[in-house]
Structure 1
Amino acid sequence: MELHYLGIERYTGLTSSGAERILEHIPRLKAGVIGDGCLDIYWHADMTKSELSRETPHYPLPIVKEIFSPGAAGNVAANVKALGCSEVYFCSVFGNDWRGSLLRDTFQRLGIDDRYSLYVDEWLTPAYCKPIRHGMQGASQEDPRLDFNNHRPLSDVLVSQLVVRLDQMAEVVDIIAVTDQLHFGVVGEAVRERLAYWAEQGKIIVLDSRDRIGAFKGIIAKPNEIEALRWAEPSLDPYDGSWSHWLSAARKLSEHTGAPCCLTLGDKGSLWVEKGRAYWTNARKTEPPLDIVGAGDCFASALLCALGVGSNGMEAMAFAHAAAAVVVRKIGMTGTATPLEILESVRLDPA
């Protein structure tokens, strides 16, 4: 891959000692997370136990195991906690419903402080419910997801209350992760303006936004190649991009936001663009079976923590790949990466 013809420099500088140094300093950090938190639910059904219903002509799904974990911004919070941040705070809006109660219990179990979140009657707690059928000889298949989402924006009153909570959280943390995932989510214009203000004050902020990556100013954007091309080249099929397209999109986004851009490319690695200069690092070697669910959340969390302890963008990007390589090996869950797992990832694939 002759990327130097495009002006892209390769970074291979992350060593085991460098990863150890980053992980040694992460416990000094206080992290804040704001955005669209949700509850991930896995319902495992043993179809060998199913019997035809007497009331309907259907075979029910006998649930033999259920797993709850925080998803989206909640998974980011779980990841920064697993990386070792001394305090992790969560700022969002949830409903006073069964999913909100489960999510709150999960936060408490993981040591995530949700004092800056709002739990209200007029909002639904988002959830992604995943039924998985298990059959003979170890066969398994995931059914279509059951999603709980809001279909209207936050009220002005709730937006105002959320902005106050964001400011309170920003006062006490060193780093902030932003997850803007849902069409009707919590990261609206007022929140974006306050995040820009805190970035101007020197707060390290990393953003992951599915559809509004170009609406933010002054904070580090971490899109994948599809999100970046949809914003930068809307007339181009985002699944048909090339290195020149990806580089152009990253540079355009960095110039537009006035901050660095870290563009992830799946198994092709990622690009770091800052003040016009571009750097690439490869993804870590991982052997199948793989599960990419939650890998982006882990990458963003590790990137943010490494930047928070003083790593430059290239080193932070390489460290994030080491963390993501751990998570993709965890099948059937939105997993996290521990410091020991990351160090092992670096030792197994030092390049």
Structure 2
Amino acid sequence: MSANPSYSRLAGQLARTKVLVVGDLMLDCYYWGDVRRISPEAPVPVVKVNVNQKTFRLGGAGNVAANLSGLGCTAAVIGLIGQDAASIQLKDLLAGANIQDHCLVDASRPTTTKTRIMASKQQVVRVDEEDGSGIGAQSADRLRTAVEAVLPSVDALILSDYGKGMFDSIDFVQAIIQSCRKMSIPVFIDPKGRDWSRYAGATCVTPNTAELELAVGSEVKGESGFIPAASDIRRRLGLDWLLVTRGPKGMALFSEDASPVMIAARAREVFDVSGAGDTVIATLAACVAGGMRFPEAAGVANTAAGIVVGKLGTWAVRWSELADALLDEAEKKPASTLWKVADVQEASARLSRWRQAEQRIVFTNGCFDLLHPGHVSLLHQARQLGDRLIVGLNTDASIRRLKGEQRPILSGQDRAAILSALEDVDMVVFFDEDTPLNLIGQLKPDILVKGADYRAADVVGKSIVESYGGQVRLVDILQGHSTTAIANKLSGKGTQR
């Protein structure tokens, strides 16, 4: 994927991606009720629970898999469950979330269950049922065999370590990492505990600040302490990447580069941070597996985390809400990104949002090869006619057909980047045909703009736009400016001897 991914293209990539989650599975149980008095037996609140308000959700590695499924990926999960009623409930939830279930039963251990008593949107108490001791050699062998069987079909692997004993064995964790490295499968790890040596050689580890400090062995104070500590542990463990989530400070992504990539937190009302780490690692792994570069994938993961912390309890992100959030961010700071470049499907989604806000849509088109003052003037005049300006941009192949094999001078990616940097331009959409007729018919702009060197009757798309009440407007052009003249001058054809 290029550095300027479009939302619909990303959605398509995620839909073709399969990610395996190996880790500590949990069943999250919620009792919802109200507190109206204090118990006469002890100074504790009495929660009157509505028997119809008991809910179950996937927790731990199950929540990571649920996030992957919610993003449109194919998600598979491997972990240990008990032979009890909680395991049946957990397996039903996995099936309901369309997650491939490769769980193994260990009758000697209970299914890890966290029961939360909720009153007036507040957690009163949590009851944990678990066995946090290390797994035996036999269980480790069974798990490793199950992982080896699924690995050939996946694009990425996530180890979701919740400190319940599954990853206590360094040999077990290293065997999985080395198998993935041999198959060029990226490994993402959500860490726990002080000793991270078992994670050595992973593609990326995603701690929060407290987890990083635990592994470092001391409190990390200020940027002057944080950056060297994170950089050092990444180097010592041979990690390709280290992504540290920092709460209101956002995220910091470390690699071999001297300076980390700092990602600002999104300003959102926070209700509950539980499960946010699951969302981060799931989104990061899915995007990277889909072909996105790490810095861009981390940015998307940051946005996804901002969504789930605004909900009470453990929730998995959904692609529809993530796409909306990404669009909101892109519209707030379009000049600093290339998210302005969209395909037709994505353009239609953005237009729908703009029209709901009663914004007037303007469209113009061209090759825009070697942008010059004439282009800038036309685009500025077009933008003044409405609230949003869409530029239909000929592809390289389209330009070659129209202007010959020596054109375009600049590639489509370069032309789109230059147009995207202009404040007047809100969106750039490529079209591969010789004319933008089909694109105009799909986008249905309110105003179609061309230069005054055209006759209105000759403007391609005029009949379509006018058929639904739109207008065709001709704007002034600056004389003496053309890409052909510039190209001839550069090649020497326009010089006088």
TM-score (norm 2): 0.61
* Correspondence for 1:23: 11
Shift of 1:58: 9.4
Question: CA-to-partner distance for each residue in 1:253-305, whole Å, 9 max, x for gaps?
Answer: 22122121111111212111112433323344233243211111101111001
The SS at the match of 1:130 is strand
* Correspondence for 1:3: none
* Correspondence for 2:114: 128
* Correspondence for 2:29: 41
Separation in structure 1 between the aligned mates of residue 150 and residue 117 of structure 2, nearest angstrom = 36
Q: Where do 1:61-76 residues align within 5 Å?
A: 61-64=48-51, 65-76=53-64
- Determine whether 1:237 maps to 2:219: yes
* Correspondence for 1:92: 79
The one-letter code sitting in structure 2 at the alignment partner of 1:243 is E
* Correspondence for 2:189: 207
Q: Residue 199 of structure 1 contacts residue 218 of structure 1 at CA under 8 Å; is this kept in 2?
A: no
Separation in structure 2 between the aligned mates of residue 251 and residue 158 of structure 1, nearest angstrom = 35
1:195 to 173, 176, 179: 176
Compared CA separation, residues 272 and 151, structure 1 to 2 (3 A): closer
The SS at the match of 1:349 is helix
- For structure 2, the 5+ residue unaligned runs are 334-497
Q: Residue 209 of structure 2 contacts residue 246 of structure 2 at CA under 8 Å; is this kept in 1?
A: yes
Greater C-alpha radius of gyration? 2
The one-letter code sitting in structure 2 at the alignment partner of 1:345 is A
Q: Residue 3 of structure 2 contacts residue 292 of structure 2 at CA under 8 Å; is this kept in 1?
A: no
Which segment drifts farther, 242-251 or 183-192? Answer: 183-192
Q: Residue 94 of structure 1 contacts residue 123 of structure 1 at CA under 8 Å; is this kept in 2?
A: yes
Q: Where do 1:131-142 residues align within 5 Å?
A: 131-134=117-120, 140-142=121-123
* Correspondence for 1:217: 200
Shift of 1:94: 0.8
- Determine whether 1:295 maps to 2:283: no
Separation in structure 2 between the aligned mates of residue 218 and residue 175 of structure 1, nearest angstrom = 15
Q: Residue 132 of structure 2 contacts residue 163 of structure 2 at CA under 8 Å; is this kept in 1?
A: no
Compared CA separation, residues 339 and 149, structure 1 to 2 (3 A): same
Separation in structure 1 between the aligned mates of residue 327 and residue 163 of structure 2, nearest angstrom = 37
Separation in structure 2 between the aligned mates of residue 23 and residue 100 of structure 1, nearest angstrom = 32
Higher relative contact order (CA 8 A, sep 6+): 1
Aligned residues: 323
Compared CA separation, residues 262 and 19, structure 1 to 2 (3 A): farther
1:334 to 314, 320, 323: 314
Separation in structure 1 between the aligned mates of residue 284 and residue 46 of structure 2, nearest angstrom = 46
Compared CA separation, residues 101 and 326, structure 1 to 2 (3 A): same
The one-letter code sitting in structure 2 at the alignment partner of 1:118 is L
Shift of 1:32: 0.3
Which segment drifts farther, 250-259 or 291-300? Answer: 250-259
- For structure 1, the 5+ residue unaligned runs are 1-12, 135-139
Separation in structure 1 between the aligned mates of residue 190 and residue 313 of structure 2, nearest angstrom = 20
The SS at the match of 2:22 is strand
Q: Residue 281 of structure 1 contacts residue 318 of structure 1 at CA under 8 Å; is this kept in 2?
A: no
Compared CA separation, residues 66 and 53, structure 1 to 2 (3 A): farther
Separation in structure 2 between the aligned mates of residue 93 and residue 348 of structure 1, nearest angstrom = 40
* Correspondence for 1:6: none
Separation in structure 2 between the aligned mates of residue 18 and residue 123 of structure 1, nearest angstrom = 46
The one-letter code sitting in structure 2 at the alignment partner of 1:333 is G
* Correspondence for 1:227: 211
Shift of 1:218: 1.5
Question: CA-to-partner distance for each residue in 1:61-115, whole Å, 9 max, x for gaps?
Answer: 4334111111111110000110111x21111111011111111110011111112
Shift of 1:195: 2.3
Compared CA separation, residues 348 and 119, structure 1 to 2 (3 A): same
Shift of 1:187: 5.6
Structure 1 stretches of at least 4 aligned residues deviating more than 6 Å after TM superposition: 50-54
The one-letter code sitting in structure 2 at the alignment partner of 1:92 is G
Q: Where do 1:208-287 residues align within 5 Å?
A: 208-211=190-193, 212-219=195-202, 220-232=204-216, 234=217, 236-237=218-219, 241-259=221-239, 260-287=241-268
Identical residues among aligned pairs (%) = 21
Aligned-pair Cα RMSD in Å = 2.5
Shift of 1:251: 1.1
Separation in structure 2 between the aligned mates of residue 59 and residue 321 of structure 1, nearest angstrom = 38
